[in-house]
Amino acid sequence: MENNCSIDTHAHLWSETYLELLAKAGSPDTQVAKNMGAGITTEEIENRIKMMDIAGVKYQVLSATPQSPQWGSPDEALELAKMINNLYASIINKYPDRFIAYGAVPLPYTEEAILEGKRVINELGFKGIAVNTIIQNEVAISDDRFSPFFEAMNELSTLIYIHPTGCGANSDMINDYHLEWVIGAPVEDTIAPLQLLKKDFPRRYPNLRFHIAHLGGALPFLLQRIEDNYSDWQAFKSSPTNDLQSRFWFDTANFHEPSLICSNESLGNSQLLLGSDFPYFQNEKYTRAINYIKQSSLKEDEKENILKNNAMKLYHLDN
């Protein structure tokens, strides 16, 4: 496999101005994203690209999650969404061979989210829409109040990227022990797709595809248990295994080879995408995000699918 051809589907970027305005609008969580080297100065972008080059990454797919424009009034949230999306568009314009993006939308404000979702797909040419597992740290992304948004995105055959919030799935058992990111994030990754399946999203929105962060949390490990709850007790309206293996993709921002092998066997090689979780993993640990796949016991064609081919197909990229 040639150098600098991998596609990192899980990377974040924010400007300091965006984070400050997001906090002013009411977000309680922006501090974790500050001073991470994930900004827009020339030095930060060039340093990011240098890490990509060392690791053999051609493209990063940028997303604002979990710092999503979901706070303030509907107008304020919409302006924040436009700000971050226009910023991504300018970066892609400057570095067209290095970056692509997921758009941000101002949910819970459905009308505004539809407007901005259509703009980023139709006008800016982004590859999908990034949303949080829990909107404003309170409402599940699968909640019926967001149905008009998903209906509109279904008409556009949009890819929906779902990322945890860091609110520990609103569980005291997690948050009282400050385990929001240690275990709370993968718990949210596990719950959100199952909520979508409970609400029968694959049949309600047949044109949508879903990208789930962090290997889908515990989904690969629990897949037989989940399937048994369908076949024996009709806990779902259709086979979770079939739906997860055909309509959902999962990024590899996990970095544990046994988890990668389990996911490859449980979810299917075609459904796995390289992910780094930049900027939370940088330098040697950024390279590790790619090398743990390259150095794994997977077959060479399976590695190449995860590092590049699956994303090429999903994003309809030519090269």
pLDDT in tens, 201-234: 999 999 999 999 999 999 999 999 999 999 999 9
- pLDDT(94) > 80: yes
Q: Between 3.40.50.2300, 3.30.450.20, 3.40.50.300, 3.20.20.140, what CATH number should domain 6-315 receive?
A: 3.20.20.140
> Taking all residues of the chain, what is their mean pLDDT, rounded to a whole number?
96
Over residues 242-263, mean pLDDT: 98
- What is the model's pLDDT at position 2? 60
Task: Output the pLDDT for position 319.
Answer: 66
Q: How many CB atoms lie within 10 A of CB 42?
A: 8
Dig out the tokens for 158 from the structure: 């949009």
Res 147: pLDDT: 98
Q: Is the peptide bond before 28 cis (omega within 30 degrees of 0)?
A: no
How is the chain split into domains, by residue range? 6-315
Q: Residue 30: its pLDDT value, please?
A: 83
**pLDDT tens digits along 129-139:** 999 999 999 99
Mean pLDDT score, 282-286: 97
pLDDT of residue 266: 98
pLDDT value, residue 29: 83
Q: How confident is the model at residue 1 (pLDDT cuts 50, 70, 90)?
A: low
Collapsing DSSP states into helix, strand and coil, what is residue 269? helix
Q: Using the predicted structure, report yes or no on whether residue 190 has a pLDDT greater than 70.
A: yes
pLDDT reported for residue 32: 75
State how far the Cα of 255 lies from the Cα of 81, in Å rounded to an integer.
31
Amino acid at 57: V
pTM score of the predicted model: 0.97
Bond preceding residue 69 cis, omega within 30 of 0 = no
25 touches 78 (CB < 8 A):
no
Is the peptide bond prior to 108 cis by the omega test (within 30 degrees of 0)?
A: yes
Dihedral sign of CA atoms 193, 282, 120, 247 in order: negative
* Residue with tokens 């047949």, as numbered in its chain: 206
